[in-house]
Homo-oligomer: A and B are copies of this chain.
Protein backbone atom coordinates (compact mmCIF):
# COMPACT_ATOMS: atom_id res chain seq x y z
CA UNK A 1 0.00 0.00 0.00
CA UNK A 2 1.16 3.47 -0.88
CA UNK A 3 1.95 5.05 2.48
CA UNK A 4 0.30 8.26 1.34
CA UNK A 5 -2.94 6.59 0.36
CA UNK A 6 -5.95 7.75 2.32
CA UNK A 7 -8.11 4.63 2.35
CA UNK A 8 -11.74 5.46 3.10
CA UNK A 9 -13.43 2.25 1.97
CA UNK A 10 -13.25 0.42 5.29
CA UNK A 11 -16.75 -0.90 5.02
CA UNK A 12 -15.82 -2.99 1.98
CA UNK A 13 -12.58 -4.32 3.43
CA UNK A 14 -10.12 -3.19 6.05
CA UNK A 15 -6.38 -3.45 6.39
CA UNK A 16 -5.72 -6.36 8.72
CA UNK A 17 -4.21 -5.44 12.07
CA UNK A 18 -0.66 -6.76 12.56
CA UNK A 19 -1.69 -8.08 15.97
CA UNK A 20 -4.35 -10.19 14.27
CA UNK A 21 -1.72 -11.95 12.18
CA UNK A 22 0.44 -12.44 15.28
CA UNK A 23 -2.52 -14.15 16.93
CA UNK A 24 -3.13 -16.37 13.88
CA UNK A 25 0.44 -17.49 13.26
CA UNK A 26 0.62 -20.30 15.86
CA UNK A 27 -2.36 -21.90 14.11
CA UNK A 28 -0.64 -21.89 10.73
CA UNK A 29 2.60 -23.40 11.99
CA UNK A 30 2.28 -24.99 15.41
CA UNK A 31 -1.27 -26.05 16.23
CA UNK A 32 -2.53 -26.78 12.75
CA UNK A 33 -4.60 -29.94 13.37
CA UNK A 34 -8.33 -30.05 12.68
CA UNK A 35 -10.46 -29.65 15.77
CA UNK A 36 -12.18 -32.98 15.19
CA UNK A 37 -8.86 -34.73 15.78
CA UNK A 38 -9.27 -33.91 19.48
CA UNK A 39 -10.13 -37.55 20.07
CA UNK A 40 -6.91 -38.77 18.53
CA UNK A 41 -4.00 -36.65 19.73
CA UNK A 42 -2.87 -33.76 21.86
CA UNK A 43 -2.50 -31.26 19.02
CA UNK A 44 -6.14 -31.91 18.16
CA UNK A 45 -7.16 -31.14 21.73
CA UNK A 46 -5.19 -27.90 21.60
CA UNK A 47 -6.74 -27.01 18.24
CA UNK A 48 -10.24 -27.68 19.54
CA UNK A 49 -9.60 -25.64 22.69
CA UNK A 50 -8.31 -22.70 20.65
CA UNK A 51 -11.36 -22.81 18.43
CA UNK A 52 -13.66 -22.88 21.44
CA UNK A 53 -11.73 -20.08 23.14
CA UNK A 54 -12.18 -17.89 20.05
CA UNK A 55 -15.86 -18.78 20.00
CA UNK A 56 -16.28 -17.89 23.69
CA UNK A 57 -14.54 -14.55 23.26
CA UNK A 58 -16.71 -13.52 20.35
CA UNK A 59 -19.86 -14.88 21.98
CA UNK A 60 -19.10 -12.87 25.06
CA UNK A 61 -18.80 -9.67 22.95
CA UNK A 62 -22.26 -10.45 21.55
CA UNK A 63 -23.74 -11.38 24.91
CA UNK A 64 -24.57 -14.98 23.98
CA UNK A 65 -23.43 -18.45 25.03
CA UNK A 66 -20.72 -19.99 22.91
CA UNK A 67 -23.12 -22.80 21.95
CA UNK A 68 -25.19 -20.13 20.21
CA UNK A 69 -22.41 -19.01 17.86
CA UNK A 70 -21.21 -20.87 14.78
CA UNK A 71 -18.37 -19.93 12.48
CA UNK A 72 -18.91 -19.56 8.75
CA UNK A 73 -16.79 -18.37 5.82
CA UNK A 74 -18.08 -14.81 6.19
CA UNK A 75 -21.08 -12.55 6.50
CA UNK A 76 -22.42 -13.64 3.13
CA UNK A 77 -22.57 -17.26 4.17
CA UNK A 78 -24.02 -16.37 7.60
CA UNK A 79 -26.91 -14.47 6.04
CA UNK A 80 -27.52 -17.17 3.42
CA UNK A 81 -27.58 -19.80 6.16
CA UNK A 82 -29.90 -17.74 8.35
CA UNK A 83 -32.45 -16.87 5.66
CA UNK A 84 -32.48 -20.19 3.79
CA UNK A 85 -31.96 -22.30 6.89
CA UNK A 86 -34.96 -20.78 8.66
CA UNK A 87 -37.10 -20.86 5.53
CA UNK A 88 -36.45 -24.57 5.05
CA UNK A 89 -36.85 -25.40 8.71
CA UNK A 90 -40.14 -23.52 9.07
CA UNK A 91 -41.69 -23.92 5.64
CA UNK A 92 -44.54 -25.99 7.04
CA UNK A 93 -45.47 -23.17 9.42
CA UNK A 94 -45.67 -20.57 6.68
CA UNK A 95 -43.91 -19.24 3.62
CA UNK A 96 -43.89 -15.49 4.09
CA UNK A 97 -40.64 -13.58 4.69
CA UNK A 98 -40.15 -9.87 5.34
CA UNK A 99 -36.96 -7.94 4.56
CA UNK A 100 -36.24 -4.25 4.02
CA UNK A 101 -35.71 -3.06 0.47
CA UNK A 102 -32.24 -1.72 1.35
CA UNK A 103 -30.75 -4.90 2.81
CA UNK A 104 -27.30 -5.86 1.66
CA UNK A 105 -27.16 -8.35 -1.24
CA UNK A 106 -26.66 -11.56 0.78
CA UNK A 107 -30.00 -11.03 2.54
CA UNK A 108 -31.77 -9.48 -0.42
CA UNK A 109 -30.69 -12.10 -2.93
CA UNK A 110 -31.25 -15.00 -0.53
CA UNK A 111 -34.81 -13.73 -0.19
CA UNK A 112 -35.10 -13.48 -3.97
CA UNK A 113 -33.77 -17.03 -4.36
CA UNK A 114 -36.50 -18.21 -1.97
CA UNK A 115 -39.10 -16.24 -3.90
CA UNK A 116 -38.21 -18.28 -6.98
CA UNK A 117 -38.85 -21.42 -4.93
CA UNK A 118 -42.35 -20.32 -4.02
CA UNK A 119 -41.88 -18.27 -0.86
CA UNK A 120 -43.61 -14.92 -0.63
CA UNK A 121 -41.32 -12.00 0.21
CA UNK A 122 -42.32 -8.50 1.32
CA UNK A 123 -39.69 -5.83 0.72
CA UNK A 124 -40.40 -3.10 3.28
CA UNK A 125 -40.11 0.51 2.12
CA UNK A 126 -37.80 2.84 3.97
CA UNK A 127 -38.12 6.58 4.59
CA UNK A 128 -35.78 9.26 3.28
CA UNK A 129 -33.17 8.41 5.92
CA UNK A 130 -33.41 4.67 5.37
CA UNK A 131 -35.58 3.74 8.35
CA UNK A 132 -38.29 1.14 8.01
CA UNK A 133 -41.78 1.99 9.24
CA UNK A 134 -42.23 -0.07 12.39
CA UNK A 135 -46.00 0.23 12.16
CA UNK A 136 -45.96 -1.06 8.59
CA UNK A 137 -43.88 -4.03 9.72
CA UNK A 138 -46.39 -4.81 12.44
CA UNK A 139 -49.27 -4.63 9.98
CA UNK A 140 -47.59 -6.84 7.43
CA UNK A 141 -46.64 -9.68 9.76
CA UNK A 142 -49.32 -12.31 9.24
CA UNK A 143 -50.20 -15.87 10.12
CA UNK A 144 -47.98 -17.07 7.31
CA UNK A 145 -44.90 -15.00 8.27
CA UNK A 146 -41.95 -17.09 9.47
CA UNK A 147 -39.02 -14.71 9.26
CA UNK A 148 -38.17 -11.01 9.43
CA UNK A 149 -34.68 -9.94 8.37
CA UNK A 150 -33.82 -6.30 8.99
CA UNK A 151 -30.21 -5.18 9.08
CA UNK A 152 -28.74 -3.50 12.13
CA UNK A 153 -27.08 -0.88 9.94
CA UNK A 154 -27.03 -0.16 6.26
CA UNK A 155 -23.90 -0.96 4.25
CA UNK A 156 -23.99 2.23 2.18
CA UNK A 157 -25.60 4.96 4.23
CA UNK A 158 -25.01 3.71 7.77
CA UNK A 159 -28.63 3.99 8.97
CA UNK A 160 -29.10 2.22 12.31
CA UNK A 161 -32.46 0.53 12.54
CA UNK A 162 -34.25 0.27 15.87
CA UNK A 163 -33.71 -3.46 16.17
CA UNK A 164 -34.90 -3.49 19.78
CA UNK A 165 -38.38 -2.44 18.75
CA UNK A 166 -38.34 -4.65 15.68
CA UNK A 167 -37.24 -7.59 17.81
CA UNK A 168 -39.97 -6.94 20.34
CA UNK A 169 -42.61 -7.01 17.63
CA UNK A 170 -41.25 -10.24 16.16
CA UNK A 171 -41.14 -11.76 19.61
CA UNK A 172 -44.76 -10.78 20.25
CA UNK A 173 -45.79 -12.21 16.90
CA UNK A 174 -43.67 -15.35 17.37
CA UNK A 175 -41.70 -14.75 14.18
CA UNK A 176 -37.95 -15.42 13.87
CA UNK A 177 -35.95 -12.19 13.63
CA UNK A 178 -32.57 -12.12 11.86
CA UNK A 179 -30.36 -9.06 11.68
CA UNK A 180 -27.27 -8.50 9.54
CA UNK A 181 -24.81 -6.77 11.87
CA UNK A 182 -21.80 -6.97 9.54
CA UNK A 183 -21.39 -3.21 9.74
CA UNK A 184 -22.08 -2.72 13.44
CA UNK A 185 -20.61 -5.63 15.37
CA UNK A 186 -18.22 -4.11 17.95
CA UNK A 187 -18.78 -0.63 16.46
CA UNK A 188 -22.30 -0.10 17.82
CA UNK A 189 -23.51 -1.68 21.09
CA UNK A 190 -25.37 -4.90 20.35
CA UNK A 191 -26.06 -7.40 23.08
CA UNK A 192 -28.42 -10.23 22.34
CA UNK A 193 -29.07 -10.41 26.07
CA UNK A 194 -30.91 -7.10 25.81
CA UNK A 195 -32.25 -7.22 22.28
CA UNK A 196 -34.78 -9.89 21.36
CA UNK A 197 -33.10 -10.92 18.12
CA UNK A 198 -32.89 -14.61 17.17
CA UNK A 199 -30.07 -14.60 14.65
CA UNK A 200 -27.26 -12.15 13.95
CA UNK A 201 -24.74 -12.10 11.10
CA UNK A 202 -21.24 -10.91 12.02
CA UNK A 203 -18.08 -10.60 10.02
CA UNK A 204 -14.34 -10.32 10.65
CA UNK A 205 -12.89 -8.36 7.76
CA UNK A 206 -14.86 -5.18 8.47
CA UNK A 207 -12.98 -4.69 11.76
CA UNK A 208 -9.38 -5.31 10.67
CA UNK A 209 -9.73 -9.06 11.08
CA UNK A 210 -9.05 -11.77 8.51
CA UNK A 211 -11.10 -12.44 5.42
CA UNK A 212 -12.88 -15.75 4.95
CA UNK A 213 -14.34 -15.90 8.45
CA UNK A 214 -17.71 -14.84 9.82
CA UNK A 215 -20.19 -15.90 12.43
CA UNK A 216 -23.86 -16.51 12.98
CA UNK A 217 -25.52 -16.12 16.34
CA UNK A 218 -28.53 -18.39 16.72
CA UNK A 219 -30.55 -18.12 19.88
CA UNK A 220 -30.94 -21.50 21.59
CA UNK A 221 -33.95 -23.30 20.20
CA UNK A 222 -34.04 -21.48 16.87
CA UNK A 223 -34.74 -24.09 14.19
CA UNK A 224 -32.29 -24.19 11.31
CA UNK A 225 -31.79 -26.46 8.31
CA UNK A 226 -28.09 -27.03 7.62
CA UNK A 227 -26.98 -25.59 4.26
CA UNK A 228 -23.38 -26.81 4.04
CA UNK A 229 -23.43 -30.61 4.24
CA UNK A 230 -20.50 -32.81 5.13
CA UNK A 231 -19.04 -33.46 8.57
CA UNK A 232 -20.45 -32.74 12.00
CA UNK A 233 -18.52 -29.54 12.65
CA UNK A 234 -20.07 -26.43 14.26
CA UNK A 235 -22.67 -28.26 16.26
CA UNK A 236 -23.66 -30.14 13.11
CA UNK A 237 -24.88 -26.89 11.54
CA UNK A 238 -21.98 -26.07 9.18
CA UNK A 239 -19.64 -28.68 7.71
CA UNK A 240 -16.07 -28.09 6.63
CA UNK A 241 -12.61 -28.18 8.18
CA UNK A 242 -12.60 -25.48 10.84
CA UNK A 243 -10.74 -22.32 9.91
CA UNK A 244 -9.04 -22.05 13.30
CA UNK A 245 -6.49 -19.39 12.33
CA UNK A 246 -9.43 -17.38 10.96
CA UNK A 247 -11.51 -17.84 14.10
CA UNK A 248 -8.61 -16.89 16.36
CA UNK A 249 -7.85 -13.85 14.21
CA UNK A 250 -11.51 -12.85 14.26
CA UNK A 251 -11.55 -13.06 18.08
CA UNK A 252 -8.40 -10.94 18.24
CA UNK A 253 -9.95 -8.34 15.92
CA UNK A 254 -13.02 -8.18 18.16
CA UNK A 255 -10.81 -7.72 21.19
CA UNK A 256 -8.92 -4.85 19.58
CA UNK A 257 -11.93 -2.63 18.92
CA UNK A 258 -12.43 -0.15 21.74
CA UNK A 259 -15.01 2.43 22.70
CA UNK A 260 -12.32 5.09 22.29
CA UNK A 261 -11.68 4.00 18.75
CA UNK A 262 -15.37 4.11 17.90
CA UNK A 263 -15.61 7.63 19.28
CA UNK A 264 -12.58 8.61 17.22
CA UNK A 265 -14.28 7.26 14.07
CA UNK A 266 -17.44 9.17 14.95
CA UNK A 267 -15.47 12.42 15.27
CA UNK A 268 -13.84 11.90 11.88
CA UNK A 269 -17.21 11.07 10.35
CA UNK A 270 -18.83 14.22 11.75
CA UNK A 271 -15.91 16.42 10.79
CA UNK A 272 -16.07 15.10 7.21
CA UNK A 273 -19.83 15.51 6.89
CA UNK A 274 -19.81 19.02 8.40
CA UNK A 275 -16.79 20.07 6.39
CA UNK A 276 -18.17 18.90 3.07
CA UNK A 277 -21.64 20.31 3.68
CA UNK A 278 -20.11 23.64 4.64
CA UNK A 279 -17.64 23.90 1.82
CA UNK A 280 -19.35 22.28 -1.14
CA UNK A 281 -22.61 23.63 -2.54
CA UNK A 282 -25.42 21.29 -3.68
CA UNK A 283 -24.64 18.42 -1.37
CA UNK A 284 -27.11 15.98 0.15
CA UNK A 285 -26.28 13.76 3.11
CA UNK A 286 -27.49 10.21 2.45
CA UNK A 287 -28.73 8.58 5.63
CA UNK A 288 -29.47 10.30 8.93
CA UNK A 289 -27.30 12.73 10.90
CA UNK A 290 -27.85 10.80 14.09
CA UNK A 291 -28.43 7.05 14.36
CA UNK A 292 -25.76 6.14 11.86
CA UNK A 293 -22.69 3.92 12.26
CA UNK A 294 -19.61 5.71 13.58
CA UNK A 295 -17.59 4.85 10.49
CA UNK A 296 -19.95 5.87 7.69
CA UNK A 297 -20.45 9.09 5.75
CA UNK A 298 -22.30 9.13 2.43
CA UNK A 299 -22.99 12.25 0.41
CA UNK A 300 -24.35 13.04 -2.99
CA UNK A 301 -22.53 15.77 -4.89
CA UNK A 302 -25.14 16.87 -7.33
CA UNK A 303 -24.24 17.46 -10.97
CA UNK A 304 -21.23 15.16 -10.82
CA UNK A 305 -20.82 11.45 -11.46
CA UNK A 306 -19.68 9.28 -8.54
CA UNK A 307 -17.42 7.36 -10.89
CA UNK A 308 -15.62 10.49 -12.02
CA UNK A 309 -15.25 11.44 -8.37
CA UNK A 310 -13.72 8.10 -7.36
CA UNK A 311 -11.30 8.15 -10.28
CA UNK A 312 -10.18 11.74 -9.74
CA UNK A 313 -9.84 11.18 -6.01
CA UNK A 314 -7.86 8.00 -6.66
CA UNK A 315 -5.37 9.97 -8.74
CA UNK A 316 -4.89 12.23 -5.74
CA UNK A 317 -4.45 9.28 -3.36
CA UNK A 318 -7.92 8.90 -1.87
CA UNK A 319 -9.80 5.59 -2.05
CA UNK A 320 -13.59 5.97 -1.74
CA UNK A 321 -16.59 4.21 -3.21
CA UNK A 322 -19.78 5.21 -5.02
CA UNK A 323 -23.32 3.93 -5.40
CA UNK A 324 -23.16 4.53 -9.09
CA UNK A 325 -24.08 1.90 -11.64
CA UNK A 326 -20.88 0.48 -13.07
CA UNK A 327 -19.26 0.34 -9.69
CA UNK A 328 -21.81 -2.06 -8.35
CA UNK A 329 -21.51 -4.26 -11.45
CA UNK A 330 -25.22 -4.85 -11.22
CA UNK A 331 -25.69 -2.31 -14.01
CA UNK A 332 -28.18 -0.57 -11.77
CA UNK A 333 -27.79 2.47 -9.57
CA UNK A 334 -27.56 1.77 -5.85
CA UNK A 335 -30.77 0.20 -4.60
CA UNK A 336 -30.11 1.92 -1.29
CA UNK A 337 -30.07 5.47 -2.64
CA UNK A 338 -33.09 4.84 -4.84
CA UNK A 339 -34.68 3.08 -1.85
CA UNK A 340 -34.49 6.25 0.24
CA UNK A 341 -36.27 8.10 -2.54
CA UNK A 342 -33.26 9.37 -4.42
CA UNK A 343 -33.43 9.47 -8.19
CA UNK A 344 -30.74 8.01 -10.40
CA UNK A 345 -28.89 11.32 -10.51
CA UNK A 346 -28.62 11.27 -6.72
CA UNK A 347 -27.38 7.69 -6.76
CA UNK A 348 -24.86 8.41 -9.50
CA UNK A 349 -23.41 11.33 -7.59
CA UNK A 350 -23.18 9.52 -4.26
CA UNK A 351 -19.85 8.89 -2.60
CA UNK A 352 -19.32 6.70 0.44
CA UNK A 353 -16.51 7.41 2.89
CA UNK A 354 -15.92 4.77 5.57
CA UNK A 355 -13.40 5.14 8.37
CA UNK A 356 -11.18 2.64 10.09
CA UNK A 357 -8.35 2.25 12.58
CA UNK A 358 -5.71 3.56 10.19
CA UNK A 359 -7.38 6.87 9.39
CA UNK A 360 -6.40 10.09 11.13
CA UNK A 361 -8.12 13.44 11.49
CA UNK A 362 -5.48 14.88 9.15
CA UNK A 363 -6.76 12.50 6.47
CA UNK A 364 -10.20 13.94 6.95
CA UNK A 365 -9.01 17.51 6.52
CA UNK A 366 -7.12 16.48 3.38
CA UNK A 367 -10.17 14.63 2.09
CA UNK A 368 -12.45 17.63 2.53
CA UNK A 369 -10.02 19.74 0.58
CA UNK A 370 -9.52 17.22 -2.22
CA UNK A 371 -13.24 16.52 -2.56
CA UNK A 372 -14.13 20.23 -2.63
CA UNK A 373 -11.62 20.91 -5.38
CA UNK A 374 -12.56 17.83 -7.36
CA UNK A 375 -16.27 18.60 -7.24
CA UNK A 376 -15.61 22.17 -8.35
CA UNK A 377 -13.45 21.00 -11.24
CA UNK A 378 -15.89 18.33 -12.35
CA UNK A 379 -18.80 20.72 -12.25
CA UNK A 380 -16.90 23.11 -14.46
CA UNK A 381 -16.60 20.48 -17.18
CA UNK A 382 -19.76 18.48 -16.44
CA UNK A 383 -22.65 18.57 -18.87
CA UNK A 384 -24.92 18.08 -15.86
CA UNK A 385 -23.52 21.04 -14.00
CA UNK A 386 -25.79 24.02 -13.48
CA UNK A 387 -22.63 26.13 -13.31
CA UNK A 388 -22.00 25.36 -17.00
Q: Tell me the A residues contacting B by CB distance below 8 Å.
A: 1, 5, 7, 9, 12-16, 18, 21, 25, 28-34, 36-37, 39-44, 73-77, 79-80, 104-106, 109-110, 112-113, 205, 210-213, 226-232, 239-246, 307, 310-311, 313-314, 318-322, 326-327, 329-330
B319 touches A40 (CB 8 A): yes
Complex CA gap A232/B343 in Å reads 23
B228 touches A330 (CB 8 A): no
The 8 Å CB contact of A1, one of B16, B31, B210, B212, is: B31
A211 touches B245 (CB 8 A): yes
The 8 Å CB contact of A229, one of B25, B109, B245, is: B109
In the complex, what residue of chain B is closest to A16 when comparing beta carbons? B28
Complex CA gap A74/B322 in Å reads 31
Task: Write out the residue numbers on chain B whose beta carbons fall within 8 Å of the beta carbon of A232.
Answer: 329-330
Task: Write out the residue numbers on chain B whose beta carbons fall within 8 Å of the beta carbon of A313.
Answer: 41
Given contacts A12-B34, A40-B314, A329-B36, contact A212 B106 (CB under 8 A): no
A228 touches B28 (CB 8 A): no
The minimal Cβ–Cβ distance linking A260 to chain B, given in whole angstroms, is 23
Task: Write out the residue numbers on chain B whose beta carbons fall within 8 Å of the beta carbon of A320.
Answer: 40-41
Task: Write out the residue numbers on chain B whose beta carbons fall within 8 Å of the beta carbon of A310.
Answer: 39-41
In the complex, what residue of chain B is closest to A309 when comparing beta carbons? B40
A16 touches B37 (CB 8 A): no
